[in-house]
Amino acid sequence: MRKISFQNIKTKKIAVAILIVALVVTGFIVSRVWKNKNNQTKYLIGRVTKGNITVTVSGSGKVTAVNQVDLKFKASGTLTYLGVHNGQKVTAGTLLAKLDTTDAERAVKTAQLNLENAQLALTQAQNSTQIDENSLKSQALANMTSAVTLTKNIISSFNDIFFTDISDYKVDAKNLLEYYSHIVTFYARADADYATVINSDFNLLKQQQNENAAALSKLNQNSSLNDIQTVLDQIITTTTLVKDTTHLGYQLLVRYESILSDYNLTPVISPRNISTDKTTVAAYVSNIDSLLTTLLANQKTIKNFKDNQNNSPYSLRSAQIAVEQQQNALVQAKDKLKDYYLYAPFDGELSQIKVSVGDDISSGTTIGVLVTDEKIAEITLNEIDLAKVQIGDTATLTFDALPDLTVSGKVIEIDPVGVESQGVVSYTVKLSLDTTDNRLKPGMTVDAEIMVASKQDVLLVPNSALKSQNGSSYVELVASQEVANLSNLKSPITLTKAPSRQPVQIGLADDNNTEIVSGLKEGDYVVIRTVTPNSITNITTRTGLFNNNMSNMMRNSMPTMGGGFPR
């Protein structure tokens, strides 16, 4: 039997062990080299460019009408006029409805007469000189003639000043009276409806003037005092109407000229010299006031003459008090008359009109609703965003119900007081709409992007390139030679030289970019993102385990001291 050589076995085991150790060492070296190659830090690079930047604030809310009001009469009565219907658009100052004014007008006339009588009584109390009947007749006839003549002149002048036809000017008025009245009531809505009142009084005035002239032509010095007194009373009624009409006409001219000045307006038409006309009417106002006072004195003197009444000091004071009382009563009666008319307080569209002519209307009852044509957007912003918004900032608005509609707008109002809900304070911001779309209705949802800041042609870097330390901003600047070409900017690259820290001063920032005020120039390269190597399984541990196994295997393959192999 062949004997196994111990020396050969020992040699072979040593060779195998050495081979295994060599393989392990080689693998370890290769793995370390591969790890070092793949453990290199890479950088995603961006470039400093020039561009525009806009900072916006977003908010949502709803569409609302600029103004909405319930239409109500301040008086009660029967509806005698309704000049509008649902869906109709009206302008400010339009007469919408009217109640029966018979009683109210009668109250005004009564108050006027009572005041005139009180003034006459006061005049008579102040001058109670007795005169004979012939003198009374002469004075009355002369003053009545003056009144008829002055009324005729005023009618003629008013025809020129207020009723000149201006239809050729293609404005929404037939004559100057309507034009002046429209301008005044448009800017001073609380003023009287001059056109309606003057036109009505003027037509009545012309009728009474013809009757007075005819009646006066039949009188002379031989007429009875009673006949003269009858015509005098009739002419005084007309003269009172002339006075009211003249005063109102003068007031209209003054208000019209004042509004032109206050609002720096240039008249669309100027067929007459308004200053000259105002001077003319002012002279008539003075003349008619004086003449009416004289006529009233004649009337009272004749009455006193017939009644043979004497006045005492007590009667003088009583007459003064009576005048004051009747003046107050007339003001109240005129104010009450206004309550029977309902005018549009602003331009808008009418809705919810549920009344008809002939209905009995109670004071304070809503007869309809007036909604302005102009729509606005009301959105809410938190306190942080609100601090960036100012009146006049432009905005872009979109609507959930109208995805095809985009409207530009402007901030017109900011609520100074916020509303707190669950610890969050929000503020209401109102925005005008630059365009009107009939599809927009109050209550629709709106989203707004408000432009709070914007700059053109500034240096920009991506937001991810900015870093901060101790309240200062900086970027990691990459040498230009590190970037071979612009295609390198599409994916991370390795650098031969680490990027340097570059302090910068920043400006505006949006969701993507930040403005660089100083510290960089156009074309510079900066680090956008640093890409670190992925962690590899703990090779030290794994190698250690592997070495332990190899040691055990080698140890098991080597002869132990004190042992031996059979021969």
| 117 and 62 in a common domain | no
Q: Is the pLDDT of residue 198 over 90?
A: yes
| 430 and 481 in a common domain | no
pLDDT band for position 284 (cuts 50, 70, 90):
very high
| 286 and 160 in a common domain | yes
Q: Is the pLDDT of residue 407 over 50?
A: yes
Q: Is the pLDDT of residue 5 over 80?
A: no
Strand order in the sheet with 366-371: 68-72, 366-371, 348-351, 89-90
Region 167-193 average pLDDT: 90
| 155 and 294 in a common domain | yes
| 318 and 265 in a common domain | no
Q: In 3-state terms, what secondary structure has residue 429? A: strand
Burial tier of 481 (Cβ tally within 10 Å: 0-12, 13-18, 19+): exposed
Answer whether residue 163 is part of any domain.
Answer: yes
| 176 and 292 in a common domain | yes
Q: What is the pLDDT of residue 40?
A: 79
**Residue 567 · residue 3 · CB < 8 Å:** yes
CATH of the domain at 331: 1.10.287
Range of the domain at 437: 56-67+371-457
Q: What is the pLDDT of residue 471?
A: 86
C-alpha dihedral sign at 130, 131, 132, 138: negative
Q: Is the pLDDT of residue 513 over 60?
A: yes
Total tally of structural domains belonging to the chain: 5
Q: Is the pLDDT of residue 161 over 90?
A: yes
pLDDT band for position 26 (cuts 50, 70, 90):
low
| 251 and 135 in a common domain | yes
Region 354-383 average pLDDT: 88
Q: Give the list of residues 6+ apart from residue 347 with CB closer than 8 angstroms, or none.
A: 89, 90, 91, 92, 372, 373
Q: Is the pLDDT of residue 2 over 50?
A: no
Region 30-43 average pLDDT: 60
Q: What is the pLDDT of residue 64?
A: 85
CATH of the domain at 469: 2.40.420.20
| 165 and 276 in a common domain | yes
Alpha helices in 365-406 (DSSP H): 383-386
pLDDT band for position 122 (cuts 50, 70, 90):
confident
Strand order in the sheet with 95-99: 341-343, 95-99, 77-82, 360-361
Q: How far is CA 339 from the centre of its chain?
A: 29
Q: Read out DSSP for 220-278?
A: -TTS-HHHHHHHHHHHHHHHHHHHHHHHHHHHHHHHHHHHHHHTT---S--SS-HHHHH
| 439 and 485 in a common domain | no
Please provide the average confidence, as pLDDT, over all residues in the chain. 84
Region 468-479 average pLDDT: 90
Mean pLDDT check: name the lowest of 71-75, 400-404, 436-440, 446-450: 436-440
pLDDT band for position 283 (cuts 50, 70, 90):
very high
Q: What is the pLDDT of residue 463?
A: 92
Region 253-275 average pLDDT: 91
Answer whether residue 323 is part of any domain.
Answer: yes
CATH of the domain at 144: 1.20.140
Answer whether residue 344 is part of any domain.
Answer: no
Answer whether residue 432 is part of any domain.
Answer: yes
Q: Read out DSSP for 160-185?
A: HHT--B-GGG-SS-SBHHHHHHHHHH
Q: How far is CA 68 from the centre of its chain?
A: 13
Mean pLDDT check: name the lowest of 36-50, 355-369, 541-555: 541-555
Answer whether residue 145 is part of any domain.
Answer: yes
| 444 and 335 in a common domain | no
Answer whether residue 72 is part of any domain.
Answer: no
Answer whether residue 148 is part of any domain.
Answer: yes
> What pTM was estimated for this model as a whole?
0.40
Tokens matching residue 460: 């920009």
Q: Is the pLDDT of residue 132 over 50?
A: yes
Q: Is the pLDDT of residue 278 over 60?
A: yes
Answer whether residue 79 is part of any domain.
Answer: no
| 134 and 118 in a common domain | no
Region 529-552 average pLDDT: 46
Q: Residue 533: which region, alpha, beta or left (left: phi > 0; alpha: psi -120 to 50)?
A: beta
Give the span between the Cα atoms of 302 and 28, in whole angstroms. Answer: 141
Q: What is the pLDDT of residue 69?
A: 86
| 282 and 172 in a common domain | yes
**Each residue of 327-338: pLDDT tens digit?**
999 999 999 999
Q: How far is CA 472 from CA 253, 458, 466, 509, 527, in A?
A: 69, 20, 10, 16, 17
Mean pLDDT check: name the lowest of 29-33, 212-216, 283-287, 298-302: 29-33
**Each residue of 203-252: pLDDT tens digit?**
999 999 999 999 999 999 999 999 999 999 999 999 999 999 999 999 99
**Each residue of 76-115: pLDDT tens digit?**
999 999 988 988 888 888 999 999 999 999 999 999 999 9
* One-letter amino acid for residue 286 of the chain: S
Domain boundary among the residues 321, 339, 357 is at: 339
